[in-house]
Structure 1
């Protein structure tokens, strides 16, 4: 039987369950002495949680290949399938098909400069493109005609 996509209350319930799970992982990171020196850890974890939930397309608590592809396309950094697989193995340390939240946090808070981490860190520094106001075309006269 095909997977049915649910909306409304069911979707909200799934999202709230996912958020609770991610919040408990955040609590574990907050109490971990390894990250005690990290500045503004709570606000960083909240930001990472929101970013992670945005790209968890299957709402299973993991970012799969399509979620990663969508994330990078939204950031304007399209990657090939091979590059995506390399990024995923960089984050997870193995050839898994998904990125779990713990691996995502370890990457974002870790000292290694994974490609995905660099892309996500510098997305906010990207210059917004200038938007020009639409103008009507200039008026032509008969003398302008060929």
Structure 2
């Protein structure tokens, strides 16, 4: 996807940004429809729900609204997930996932990373993040312990 450019002198750029994000959502919805109609991943259960979740993740991590995850987007994503990486590691991760050689990760490549058979570092980290979200923090007072409970 071509990069979205914004007029920095326009102080009312929020509308332009919103329109660009809406266009991005529509393009990703078209990709999802194509994946479902072509039955690209027949072995995956609850495909529509997973694709919707991946869409939300992708849009969240696409900071510049370009429709692709570039070096900076992946770096910020990894930092948010608590797994900071240096530039060389990030480029290696992108190269592993990038199917068309663009140097970025588009939505189709992102879905292929998450649902495809080949395992990648980024896939494992993103799946780990999902498992960590489901964990509930106990509330209230901690249970009383005695000396016999100590190792």
Bin for the TM-score computed over the shorter chain: 0.7 to 0.9
Residue 125 of structure 2 aligns to a residue in which SS? helix
Unaligned runs of 5+ in 1: 131-146
Give me the TM-score of the superposition, normalised by structure 2.
Answer: 0.77
Out of 3, 8, 23, the residue aligned to residue 14 of structure 2 is 8
For the aligned residues, what is the CA RMSD? 2.4
Aligned partners of 2:99 and 2:16: how far apart in 1? 34
8 Å CA contact 2:6–2:13 kept in 1: the answer is: no
Q: Which residue of 1 aligns with 2:80?
A: 74
Q: For residue 12 of structure 1, report the CA deviation from its aligned partner.
A: 1.1
Aligned partners of 2:77 and 2:7: how far apart in 1? 23
8 Å CA contact 2:62–2:73 kept in 1: the answer is: yes
Out of 42, 45, 53, the residue aligned to residue 59 of structure 2 is 53
Q: For residue 36 of structure 1, report the CA deviation from its aligned partner.
A: 2.3
Unaligned runs of 5+ in 2: 138-151
Aligned partners of 2:76 and 2:56: how far apart in 1? 15
* Cα displacement string for residues 8-44 of structure 1 (whole angstroms, at most 9, x for unaligned residues): 2211111100000000001111112331231110010
Aligned partners of 1:15 and 1:108: how far apart in 2? 22
8 Å CA contact 1:88–1:95 kept in 2: the answer is: no
Q: For residue 7 of structure 1, report the CA deviation from its aligned partner.
A: 3.4
Q: For residue 117 of structure 1, report the CA deviation from its aligned partner.
A: 0.6
Q: Which has the higher contact order (CA 8 A, sep 6+)?
A: 2
Q: Which residue of 2 aligns with 1:121?
A: 127
Give me the TM-score of the superposition, normalised by structure 1.
Answer: 0.79
